Amino acid sequence: MALLVFPGGASASSSQFSVTSGPAYRHCATAGFHGELRFWYVYNGEYVRYVGRIEYRINKGTESGGNEANIWWGDHAGPGIQTDAAIQDNQWHTFGGDYYRSSRAEVDLTFQFDRSWPIPDPYCTVSWFM
């Protein structure tokens, strides 16, 4: 029996899962901004059962703006996670994670990028099933 260890110290026994695991990436871009998310997971053959550490990075390119971007992670089989202080420095930052899911369901990810006032903040959303 193998023991899977994830970033952040969480672990799962491979005898509990038909194991497929690794980092997964999702991204969206608009108005010169690019948001990227990566998360570690365990897939049990039917759906993603466990979500490990979730990280994000935002590249604002040549756009002006601060470090108060918003990110929403809406998992219909797990918790919703959000922040209104996401940093836009093109570096990886921890966002959340380390939870178990109960079924296959849709996940919605929205980035609302932070532009300098008075320009409206652009946003983009990506959705997928896992």
Model confidence, pTM: 0.81
Domains of the chain with bracketed CATH: 18-129 (2.60.40)
Report residue 19's pLDDT band, with 50, 70 and 90 as the boundaries: low
- Report d(CA 20, CA 43) in Å as an integer: 5
CA torsion sign for 113, 77, 9, 6 is: negative
- Report d(CA 51, CA 63) in Å as an integer: 32
Cα atoms in the 13 Å half-sphere on the side-chain side of 105:
16
Inter-residue contact 127 to 104 (CB < 8 Å):
no
Does 11 or 68 have the greater pLDDT score?
A: 68
Q: Which residue has the tokens 């899911």?
A: 101
**Per-residue DSSP letter, 119:** S
Q: Over the stretch 70-116, which tens digit does the pLDDT of each residue have?
A: 999 988 887 889 999 999 999 999 988 788 888 888 899 999 999 98
